[in-house]
Amino acid sequence: MTQFYTHQKHRTTAYRAWIGSLTGLLAFWLLPAFGAATPHNSATRALDVPALATVLNLDGTLRADAHGSFDARGYQFSKTPDGLPQFHSANTLGAGDEKWQEGFGINGTDDEVKALVYSPAGELYAGGKFTAAGTAPAIRIGKWDGTRWNALGTGIGENVPYYTGTDVVNAIAVDKAGNVYAGGLFTQAGGIAVSNIAKWDGTQWSALGTGLSYTVQALAIDGAGNVYAGGQFIQAGGIAVSNIAKWDGTRWSALGAGLTYRVQTLAIDGTGNVYAAGTQSSGGAYINKWNGTTWSQLGTGLGSIYGEVRALVVDGTGNVYAGGAFNTAGGVAVNNVAKWDGTSWSALGTGIPDRVYALALDGAGNFYAAGDAQGSRVLKWNGTRWVVVATVNRIVSTLAADGAGGVVAGGTFQSAGSLEANFVAKWDGTRWSNLATGLNRTVFAVAADGKGNIYVGGSFTAAGGLAANLIAKWDGTRWSTLGTGLVGVAVFALAVDGAGNVYAGGSFTRAGNKSAISIAKWDGTNWSALSAGLTQASYPGEVYALAVDGAGNVYAGGSFGQTGSLVVNGLAKWDGTNWSALGTGFDFTVRALALDGMGTVYAGGDFTRAGGVAANYVAKWDGTRWSALGSGALYAVRALAFARNGKLYAGGDRIFNFGVPTCLAAWDGTSWSAITTPTGGQVNALALDGNDNLYVGGSFTAIGTMAAKRVAKWDGTRWTTLGTGLNQEVRALAVRGASPLCVGGEFNAVGDGSKVTAYVGLYDTGASPLSMHTPLRQRSAVIQLYPNPTQSRFIVKCSAGRIEQGQLLNSQGQVIRHLSPSTLQTAVDIRGLAAGVYTVQVVVKGEVVSQRLVVE
């Protein structure tokens, strides 16, 4: 038994946890300070208690209101800088990946959901094209336990996006014992060789004999546990079959002569009859019934010349319902859905106006249909007619009824009603809800304010379950919106000034409820336009780069030519009131900006002329005129960063050639020099920390002989990786103060796929909160804080000497306030700061001194 304490206002919370080799149950009780321990019942089973994830903050710490027993299997234990318990996923495989912060999951899944089914225990299984679900690295298949997504081992197929591979799960079935069967197009499951079908027993994957020769589209299990597979294949376990086969737990067998068409759907009635249907080339579609010995047809089929059946369900009395694309059933006019009562076909009202892909029927008689009908993609049969109950913005491929009147939908959609939901969502009879929350699309821009807040911009429309249009804020614990966000295509650039104002640039026309062309300012409460914005002729421009100098001037680069009547070709300066041009600007797009802090502006992009002079893809503004940096680059420069040592770093795609093409180089004021270049892709983003460590992001996969997936660090001498990197392209980087490195892009997991971090990632670089190059020595200075605890302000006092600099850190070691230098004491305003335990850190006579502060 391990005991932890943390202060919360006037009480002490005792957390008692049993870790059990990190695979057991976590149990803790909310007790008065020094309360008696309650013995832990070691016989408690994991299934009797909720998952630990239900009481974790996104940083892995325990929520303040947590109490009870929780399943801690799959987690590793550590402590925060304040000594509080912190838990991280134990399935991380790559060295260093533990430094990628937990919790940045996907708002659903990262690709299409093609199969949904509830188990007898009420767990929801999903299959499809995805490689991640929520915060789980769920490759092609995952389980939703009501709180979070779980991976099934290492999943099915390769851990690559579907567009780069072919692996897919099309069908799932679960037997009475809880074994999960998955069918589709794949050759491995959990690292073992399979052929288009596999079984998960709750612990590991196994093959079903030698499997099936080609794709599986449908699965069903009868009361005896026999598994039926339908699809497009001619062999099952080495024997000849025709598009349908049966697995009895030991071997495969044919169902008579099989079927001549690709089987898309299967259903089994209470007496064990198997119904099969699918796509037929001519003569309409037929539903065929296997009674264990022979095949028969249900009436004269569906459709006139061409028909397709995509979904079948059977109710408790043996009625068979079919959905697909057909206009007749047994000679009766129908509209894409029909009922077979054992003798004849009949219509269900006026039917459904477009192709039906999915049907779902629960024990209470709730009957749902969904598919491709624009504006009415989820419908419910009320016994007389179809009623539209919910809408999504694209196709619904699959449905699963929850037995309580609700239904889960999966497909290609990315919104359900007004809810942003990636590929899966649940309808409870009244409203849609997400299965997991997070960002739902690419992040193109990131910025840190030095107070622990991270701002992200991109093409997303959801963050943490909130409608967040193109921009959102992460405060170290949760996502929040910036008003109603922006209206347009995407945010491509972000910057924060010294007062905390956030500037967003991109392709948009409104900010909040105001017109704002391509650029806007958020002051913490409201959006405002920067005069007339930035345009290209009569059209909105696009801003790709932003930079703010020490005086608060904002520089914007991109693809634009005017602001109002003022010509600003590709680059403009905002002084807080007016725009001004920097000379005559550029002949093509500006994509990157960097400032040296002394008035010099560096620009990179697609241009070959700056201010009328030749300047290949990179140029310098000295306050009066533009000039080239040597002979410039060979191709477009996409990223710039200026270091304190006076070096300018430039990145792009093969922008220089020092014997070999390179995508990264340094300018020392006189000439360009090579840095061992990333290979396998280009550089999109650069960021420097307070110690001049250079962080590089892009689409590259290696640096020299070292694997470096899309992000890496250069310390001026050598390269190091950031864990296993990231699995898709990095678009943006930012680091400020003691905040972790913030990364934005198209990725959804670390480089080896073992941890999900979707579209945004925070990496603990291990940087000291105070980067002052102060030598360590024995402390002689002592500080006093009063009042402590406090609510709105406190005073730092040191009798040993002048407070040279200081800062206030939260429990994650992030700087949230900077303290002003003073003689012997300084007052700090903390109004609006959340209750909790903080650390005050100051430098006195060259010594770093820390003390705990409690905020009530």
Is the pLDDT at 793 greater than 90, yes or no? no
Which residue, 393, 416, 436, sits at the end of a domain?
A: 436
What is the average pLDDT across 411-432?
89
What's the average model confidence in pLDDT over 433-441?
88
- Average pLDDT taken over every residue of the chain: 86
- The predicted structure's pLDDT at residue 474: 95
Domain that holds residue 380: 367-436
Question: Above 60 in pLDDT, residue 529?
Answer: yes
Q: Pick the residue with more confidence: 95 or 606?
A: 606
> Who has greater pLDDT, 783 or 115?
115
Judge whether 537 lies within some domain.
no
Q: Is the pLDDT of residue 686 over 90?
A: yes
Lowest mean pLDDT among 27-31, 97-101, 175-179, 789-793: 27-31
- Torsion over CA of 542, 548, 554 and 555, rounded to 10 degrees? -50
Answer yes or no: is 628 within a domain: no
- pLDDT tens by residue, 558-573: 999 999 999 999 999 9
What integer pLDDT is reported at residue 447 of this predicted model? 97
pLDDT at 301: 84
Choice among 357-366, 513-522, 717-726, 834-843 with the minimum mean pLDDT: 834-843
Highest mean pLDDT among 160-174, 257-271, 301-315, 759-773: 257-271
> What is the pLDDT confidence band of residue 281, given thresholds at 50, 70 and 90?
low
pLDDT of residue 237: 98
**Residue 520: per-residue pLDDT:** 99
In a domain, 332, yes or no: no
* Highest mean pLDDT of the ranges 100-104, 114-118, 842-846: 114-118
Per-residue model confidence as pLDDT tens digits over 689-726: 988 999 999 999 999 889 999 999 999 999 999 999 99
Check residue 296 and give its pLDDT: 97
From 390, 407, 436, the end of a domain falls on: 436
pLDDT digits (tens, 9 = 90+) for 635-667: 999 999 999 889 999 999 999 999 889 999 999
Separation CA 59–CA 80 (nearest Å) = 10
What pLDDT does residue 104 have? Answer: 93
Report yes or no on 720 lying in a domain. no
Q: Does residue 436 register a pLDDT over 90?
A: no
Task: Examine residue 276 and state whether it is found in any structural domain, yes or no.
Answer: no
pLDDT at 722 (0 to 100): 95
pLDDT at 139: 94
Whether 152 has a pLDDT exceeding 70, the answer reads yes
CA pair distance 156, 194, nearest whole angstrom:
10
pLDDT of residue 164 exceeding 80, the answer is no
Query: Which one is predicted more confidently, 11 or 239?
Result: 239
Reference 595, options 620, 615, 613; nearest CA is 620
In angstroms, the CA 749 to CA 296 distance is 49
Condensed to tens digits (0 to 9), the pLDDT of residues 820-833 reads 676 667 778 787 77
pLDDT level of residue 415 (50, 70, 90 thresholds): confident
Alpha-carbon distance 787 to 794, whole Å?
A: 6
Which pLDDT score, from 0 to 100, does residue 696 have?
98
* pLDDT-based confidence at residue 77 (cuts at 50, 70, 90): low
**Distance (Å, rounded) from C-alpha 613 to C-alpha 632?**
12
Read off the pLDDT band of 335 (50, 70, 90).
very high
What's this model's pTM, rounded to 2 decimal places? 0.74
Give exposure, 442-469, as e/b (b: 16+ Cβ within 10 Å).
bbbbbbbbbbbbbbbbbbbbbbbbbebb
Is 839 inside any structural domain?
yes
Contact 147, 136 (CB under 8 A): no
Give ∠ CA 113-116-118 in degrees, rounded to 5. Answer: 155
pLDDT at 790: 85
Mean pLDDT computed over 398-407? 92
Answer whether residue 836 shows pLDDT above 90: no
Q: Is the pLDDT of residue 496 over 80?
A: yes
Say whether pLDDT at 92 is over 50: no
Tell me how many domains the chain contains: 2
- Residue 71 is predicted with a pLDDT of 62
pLDDT of 451 over the 90 cut: no
Q: Which residue has the higher pLDDT, 801 or 464?
A: 464
The letter for the amino acid at 357 is: Y
- 347-352 own/partner pairs: CB under 8 Å, 24+ apart: 348/321, 348/381, 348/386, 349/381, 349/384, 349/385, 349/386, 350/385, 350/386, 351/386, 352/323, 352/376, 352/379, 352/386
Tell me the C-alpha to C-alpha distance, in Å, between residue 67 and each of 38, 61, 74.
13, 13, 20
Q: Where on the phi/psi map is residue 281: left (φ > 0), alpha (ψ -120 to 50), or beta? A: alpha
In the chain, the amino acid numbered 345 is W
Lowest mean pLDDT among 25-39, 202-216, 763-777: 25-39
User: Which whole number is the average pLDDT over 245-273?
Assistant: 97
First vs last Cα of the chain: how many Å apart? Answer: 30
| 393 falls within a domain | yes
Which of 419, 436, 453 corresponds to the end of one domain?
436
CATH number assigned to the domain comprising residue 792: 2.60.40.1930
Bigger pLDDT: 66 vs 121:
121
In a domain, 561, yes or no: no
Which residue has tokens 């801003």?
543
Q: Answer with the residue of higher pLDDT: 561 or 92.
A: 561
Mean pLDDT (whole number) for 47-68? 64
pLDDT value for 782: 67
Looking at residue 117, its pLDDT comes to 98
